[in-house]
């Protein structure tokens, strides 16, 4: 458990001998190194954990979390070799951030809809083929990460999540977006990198907050790519280089 402490493993200037004693330039150098180190440690989580939750009431095991059930806000069970969703998670009614990435989950239980305070759900690198309909009950959800699963169609249950801002679906097998995606009126970022998308619905123009769509490594023709900036002038699109180099 972490309770609003500095990132684990990061040294303070006071703990580094002779950092500032004789050479002010050494102080600057050490400061830059420390900033880079902190950034490296936190860069992945910083993309997903809201700043007000970062390291506060942060648990990495269910056993520790159960000691303080009512205060659990962040639960990180990534890389835990999970094959099934631990039902004990449902005990944490005030959970706001749940990371189940890099496991072997094939499905989520209907009961996940009971985590009504959840703001961020991280599920990338599992074996999910669908989402349960009960996802619609997660009305506080702002970010969901579903990259590198086995989704073959857009999860329609997500369309009811009115507060959703970030939707990451990269490295799946999705071949089209539903016209009804316009229901996501607060969506700002849509990641569809490495799917099977060949065209986009005209309804994207009815999503006033959508600013970025990642379409790298999709089988979209060059002519359709070139027309997107005219069809959707308020959206920034990302495409692969013609040779797919560096992607």
**Positive or negative CA dihedral for 207, 136, 84, 101?**
positive
What are the structural domain ranges in the chain? Answer: 1-46, 52-238
Structure tokens at 116: 């009504």
CA distance 58 to 25: 37
Helix/strand/coil for 190: strand
- Which pLDDT score is estimated for 3? 56
pLDDT at 29: 45
CA dihedral 202, 204, 208, 213 (to 10 degrees): -140
Q: What is the pTM of this model?
A: 0.81
Within 13 A of 75's CA, how many CA atoms are on the CB side? 32
Instruction: Split the chain (247 residues) into runs of 10 and give each run's mean pLDDT.
Output: 43 36 49 40 54 78 94 96 97 97 98 98 98 98 98 97 98 98 98 97 97 97 92 95 50
Instruction: Count Cα neighbours of 107 within 13 Å in the Cβ-side half-sphere.
Output: 6
Q: Are 53 and 77 in contact (CB under 8 A)?
A: no
Exposure class string for 49-58: b at 16+ Cβ within 10 A, else e:
beeeebbebb
Q: Name the residue among 9, 78, 95, 81 with its Cα closest to residue 44.
A: 78
CATH class of 52-238: alpha beta
- Segment 171-228, tens digit of pLDDT: 999 999 999 999 999 999 999 999 999 999 999 999 999 999 999 999 999 999 999 9
CA–CA distance from 245 to each of 15, 27, 161, 193, 241 (Å)? 43, 40, 36, 14, 6
What DSSP element (H or E) covers 238? Answer: strand 236-238
Task: Tell which residue, 8, 113, 10, 94, has the closest CA to residue 53.
Answer: 94
**Neighbouring residues of 231: CB distance < 8 A, sequence distance ≥ 6:** 200, 202, 205
């Amino acid at each position: 458990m972490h309770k609003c402490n500095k990132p684990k493993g990061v040294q303070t200037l006071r703990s580094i001998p002779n950092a500032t004693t004789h050479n002010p330039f050494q102080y600057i150098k050490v400061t830059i190194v420390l900033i880079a180190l902190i950034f490296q440690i936190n860069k992945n989580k910083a993309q997903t954990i809201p700043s007000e939750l970062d390291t506060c009431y942060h648990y990495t095991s269910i056993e520790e979390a159960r000691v303080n059930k009512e205060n659990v806000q962040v639960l990180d069970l990534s890389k835990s070799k999970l094959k099934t969703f631990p039902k004990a998670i449902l005990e944490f009614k005030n959970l706001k951030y749940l990371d189940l990435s890099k496991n072997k989950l094939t499905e989520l239980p209907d009961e996940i809809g009971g985590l009504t305070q959840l703001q961020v759900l991280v599920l990338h690198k599992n074996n999910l083929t669908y989402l349960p309909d009960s996802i619609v009950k997660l009305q506080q959800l702002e970010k969901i990460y579903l990259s590198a699963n086995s989704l073959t169609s857009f999860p329609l249950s997500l369309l009811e999540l009115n507060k959703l801002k970030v939707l990451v679906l990269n490295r799946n097998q999705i071949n089209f977006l539903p016209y009804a995606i316009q229901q996501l009126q607060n969506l700002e970022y849509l990641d569809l990198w490495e799917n099977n998308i060949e065209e986009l619905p005209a309804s994207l123009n009815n999503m006033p907050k959508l600013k970025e769509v990642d379409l790298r490594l999709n089988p979209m023709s060059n002519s359709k790519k070139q027309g997107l900036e005219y069809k959707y002038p308020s959206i920034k699109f990302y495409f692969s280089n013609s040779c797919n180099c560096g992607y």
